[in-house]
Amino acid sequence: MAGENLLPRRAALIGAAGVTGTLLARGAAAAVPEIDTGRVQGGRVEFPAWTAPTERPSSGPPNPMPMNERVGFAVVGLGRLTLEEILPAFGEAKKSRLVALVSGTPDKAARIASQYGVRPEAVYDYAAFDRIRDNPDIRVVYVVLPNSMHKEYTIRAAQAGKHVLCEKPMAVSSAEGQAMVDACRTTQRKLMIAYRCQYEPYNREVLRMVREATFGPARFIDAVNVQNQGDGEQWRFKRALAGGGSLPDVGLYCLNAARFLTGEEPVEVIARSFSPPGDARYAEVEETVNFMLRFPGGLVANCATSYGMHESRLLRVHTPGAAISLDGAFAYHDKQLRIAHRDGRAESVDERRIPMQNQFALEMDHMADCVLTDRKPHTPGEEGVQDHRVMEAIYQSASSGQPVALPRVEGLDHTRGPAPSPS
């Protein structure tokens, strides 16, 4: 008899457990507090703090704009930087979206378009580039081409009625850069140069400490950006395409960092350059450049760049009260910020950890925000032109072996627009 009642009893127990589980689930859902469910406030989803005040707060939900309200970008050039960094960054963007591609390689363009949901009719080749005029989804053109092509496609994009975000260096000379600025001014289109480090949180924290003189005034800057370049068939070794070697490619980061950290413009440069004899890669461009920049406030920046050294991307700022070191300063990803300073009778080295954000997403969103609010980009065309002027003086000094004086510029940040909004 016991065996006969086993199955009904088991079924009854399972049924009761199911009812109880359902009631518990319903009760748990009804009892979840707002600290865990969040709330919508001012059009944003927000969560109250859930950790103690001793803990670093979380960054919270990203709260991107609705997709149909974001600014549409056409990316021109599907090379390594575009495919490895820029296109993936749209996935982390909040105000910008990818709507079109321009490439001279049809099979690659079709494949990439399918990967990122770009409509086939929004894929253009270079001959048909000017047809972007007829695509209202495109509001910004991001030019990611060899340096010598920046001027042509910036001007054509502006004449097609589109704003322009252009990779650095903006051209191959200050004259070309100025022509780009003039063309965008004539067509009333915005021009921004993609100085991603000026939007990146670690670099901006160094900027804050320098500008606020947290540890006293900055007296000396060391900036190093070197890498060991490979195959000589790369366009970077062709003067007609690159305009120069390591200086405009990676040395530009050192130069721009010194300028944007201080806000000043250098009044003198001293430079030396070197290329290994017999290395065919350097028949047209330089391998290594060391240059010193003297600023009107007394600060000196010592900078080094090369295509022939193991990768190292370092920024050091020396002040009376501390030495500020940012390792990986100009890299795409990993960074370490350390501050050495007196701590009583000891020397402390503090590591400052900042939530990482995608630099490319930040710069694209800044451009989108400038379009949406009709304001000048933080790094407009004038910023790129000034870097070219200083690089021309660096080349002149390296060639002559003599210091080269630059015109004195009064005030701070005369080539920059308003600071980017907090993300």
User: Residues 142, 153, 253, 395: which is the catalytic one?
Assistant: 253
What contacts 123, CB < 8 A, 6 or more positions away? 100, 101, 102, 103, 109, 110, 113
User: Residues 162, 168, 190, 335: which is the catalytic one?
Assistant: 168
Angle, helices 150-159/174-186, rounded to nearest 10 degrees: 10
According to DSSP, residue 66 is labeled P
Q: Is 80 exposed, middle or buried (0-12, 13-18, 19+ CB in 10 A)?
A: exposed
Residue type, 373: T
3-state secondary structure 234-283: CHHHCHHHHCCCHHHHHHHHHHHHHHHHHCCCCCEEEEEEECCCCCHHHC
Phi and psi based region of residue 369 (left: phi greater than 0; alpha: psi -120 to 50; beta: remaining): alpha
Angle, helices 174-186/381-400, rounded to nearest 10 degrees: 170
Residue type, 392: E
Q: Residue 238 catalytic?
A: no
Q: Please tell me whether residue 333 adopts helix, strand or coil conformation.
A: coil
Question: What does the block give as tokens for 372?
Answer: 């949406």
At residue 231, what are phi and psi to the nearest 5 degrees? -55, 130
d(CA 68, CA 97): 9
Distance in Å from the first CA to the final CA of the chain: 72
Residue of 282, 261, 286, 139 lying closest to 195 (CA atoms): 261
Is-contact 164 75, C-beta < 8 A?
no
Q: Residue 142 catalytic?
A: no
What contacts 24, CB < 8 A, 6 or more positions away? none
Angle, helices 252-262/381-400, rounded to nearest 10 degrees: 120
CA distances from 351 to 52, 129, 330, 340 (A): 22, 48, 18, 9
d(CA 162, CA 185): 12
Q: Which residues are catalytic?
A: 168, 253
